[in-house]
Amino acid sequence: ANPVEAAGCNLTEFIGTAVGDTIGLVIANVDHLLHEKMKLDKKYRSIGVIGARIGAGPQIMAADEAVKATNSEVISIELPRDTKGGAGHGSLIIFGSEDVSDAKRAVEVTLQTIDKTMGDVYSNEAGHLEFQYTARASYAIGKAFGAPVGKSFGLICAGPAAIGVILADTAVKAANVGIVGYASPGNGGTSYSNEVILTVTGDSGAVRQSVTAAREAGLKLLGSLGAAPVSASVPYI
């Protein structure tokens, strides 16, 4: 975002922006009519909101760090079919807290972390790859993917989806990991995005090895459809 324009956004609800057309916002006291329509739990007076056009995994991983670091909870995670003409999702993540400062802090931590979690998102003109890894998943990852909290977690994703099928096979053959979920365009786990998403858990060394093996294969396969895929930031895994 143009810093002049961002500086011009003087709304108290505005916290900041990040890569991927990500915006971070907060509402100190959600209107009671809206609160009901949004089906929020009554204990959350304040909400933090993260939304993006490009990316769901990076924002969810960043929100997971925010949940670890703050006194807030992830209320909901929704996956629009987006990426601005790309093959994947955007995201809408809502944090709840009793105090507005906690929701605000969760949004800030998320925004600060997205640059890192975009590091293993790679794209070219034909599609994208995404890899995520953490030694210890928390509640955002648990809510989004059904992954066990407190354990190591890895995500392997590619669009077009066909590449994701191969990466999923590569990942589970590369190390002794358990499968948390397998999502595909028409069989659940995606909003009809052109992706296959495999999520894995297990020993942290094994999860990392599984993810990096898939990454190596993915860069070759997506590269066969166009230019060498380029990271959206700096690879971290």
**Residue 44 near residue 75 (C-beta atoms within 8 A):** yes
184 binds a second copy, rule: CB under 8 A: yes
Spatial separation of the C-alpha atoms in residues 152 and 132, rounded to whole Å: 11
Select from 60-68, 115-123, 141-149, 182-190 the region that touches a second copy (CB under 8 A).
182-190
Quote the crossing angle between the two packed helices 57-69 and 100-117, to the nearest 10°. Answer: 130
Select from 26-34, 61-69, 139-147, 207-215 the region that touches a second copy (CB under 8 A).
26-34
Q: In the structure encoding, which two tokens stand for residue 207, read together?
A: 């999860």
**Residue 155 near residue 213 (C-beta atoms within 8 A):** no
Residue 130: what residue type?
Answer: E
Of 60, 63, 75, 87, which lies in the binding site for a second copy, with binding defined by CB under 8 A? 87
Among 125, 137, 139, smallest CA distance to 199 is for 137
Of 97, 134, 194, 209, which lies in the binding site for a second copy, with binding defined by CB under 8 A? 194
9 binds a second copy, rule: CB under 8 A: yes
Shortest distance, position 107 Cβ to a second copy, whole Å: 10
Spatial separation of the C-alpha atoms in residues 202 and 195, rounded to whole Å: 23
Residues 135-154 that bind a second copy (CB under 8 A): none
Exposed (0-12), middle (13-18) or buried (19+): which is 88, by Cβ within 10 Å? buried
100 binds a second copy, rule: CB under 8 A: no
Residues 103-122 that bind a second copy (CB under 8 A): none
182 binds a second copy, rule: CB under 8 A: yes
Sign of CA dihedral 113, 230, 174, 172: positive
Q: Which is nearer to a second copy, 87 or 114 (CB)?
A: 87
229 binds a second copy, rule: CB under 8 A: no
234 binds a second copy, rule: CB under 8 A: no
Residues 57-76 that bind a second copy (CB under 8 A): 76
What are the C-alpha distances in Å from 76 to residues 61, 137, 141? 14, 17, 11
Of 146, 150, 205, 226, which lies in the binding site for a second copy, with binding defined by CB under 8 A? 226
Of 71, 135, 150, 179, which lies in the binding site for a second copy, with binding defined by CB under 8 A? 179
Q: Which is nearer to a second copy, 88 or 119 (CB)?
A: 88
